[in-house]
Amino acid sequence: MNEPSERPRQSGRPEREPFYLPAGDEVAIFERCHAQHLAVMLKGPTGCGKTRFVEHMAWRLGRPLITIACHDDLTASDLVGRFLIGHEGTRWVDGPLTRAVREGALCYLDEVVEARQDTVVVLHPLTDHRRLLPLDKTGEILEAAPRFQLVVSYNPGYQRLLKDLKPSTRQRFVALDFDFPPAEREAAVVSHESGVDSAIAHALVGLGRQLRELQDRGLAEVPSTRLLIASARLIADGIEPRSACRAALIAPLSDDATLLGAMTDLVELAFAR
């Protein structure tokens, strides 16, 4: 019988340097926060490179990266750990946050605003000078390993009315602003990730910028660099550009017929000339 503890554990240490083009002093500030034991919040829209940045920093700092996608039903126990019943009684199994605290890993909570208050509150004693993680269930109080780093991401333009971080939580993080890269840099990323030539990459990026201007006309969220890359990969693999853009760029953005029509017109303009 396979007991879970005998299974190999991966801490997500990337094998080669993740591709990342810096936009400002975010690398330097992150390194100083790591040195100063300050937790970091990455603010910015979906798909603008926050996850890639944290992968890059983990590689750069030589630390394992443990990523946790936050959601409404993530409990404190999912983060911290729980007792499992085995054939000799109960056995404690660390959660991903506890593993990160013990190993001195980067622990990245993606979309932290989605988590419940009890999950977020568990982070508090890790973000001040104490750097402690109390394991209430065992009575232990863990001190974080020296190179442990807490990172969270947060999309400020999205669902702000329904959910938001408490101010007393926000003030526990140094915040770095992220946005879509400038056109030249975004085209370089699209080309690097998909294999399309520079002309198609620039056409896609130009189209993406036009679509992002539709936000004031009802688009719930603007297209990410991720969508441009998906379209480019279909084009590179032989799909006709307008067809690829309809499936990979426009259809994921909306179900509204008027908006879809306007976006289709922009696709036609971008590739039919």
**Which of residues 16, 62, 161, 167 is near a second copy by CB under 8 A?**
167
Q: Is 116 in the site for a second copy (CB under 8 A)?
A: yes
Phi, psi at 252, each rounded to 5°:
-70, -15
Is 131 one of the binding residues for a second copy (CB under 8 A)? no
Q: How far is the CB of 170 from a second copy (least distance, A)?
A: 5
- The reply to whether 168 sits near a second copy by the rule CB under 8 A is yes
Q: Which of residues 223-252 bind a second copy (CB under 8 A)?
A: 223-224, 226-227, 230, 233-234, 237-240, 243-244, 247-248, 251-252
Minimum gap (Å) between residue 15 Cβ and a second copy: 12
We find the least distance from the C-beta atom of residue 105 to a second copy, in angstroms, to be 13
Selected binder of a second copy within 48, 57, 58, 76 (CB under 8 A)? 76
43 binds a second copy (CB under 8 A): yes
Q: Out of 21, 60, 61, 78, point to the residue binding a second copy (CB under 8 A).
A: 78
| Nearer of residues 142 and 187 to a second copy, judged by Cβ | 142
Residue 148 and residue 133: Cα distance in Å, rounded? Answer: 12
Residue 36 C-beta: closest distance to a second copy, Å: 5
Considering only 27, 61, 175, 188, the residue that binds a second copy (CB under 8 A) is 175
What is the sign, positive or negative, of the torsion defined by CA atoms of 195, 53, 169, 97?
positive
Interface positions, 177-206, toward a second copy (CB under 8 A): 177, 193
By the rule CB under 8 A, 17 interacts with a second copy: no
Q: Does 108 interact with a second copy (rule: CB under 8 A)? A: no
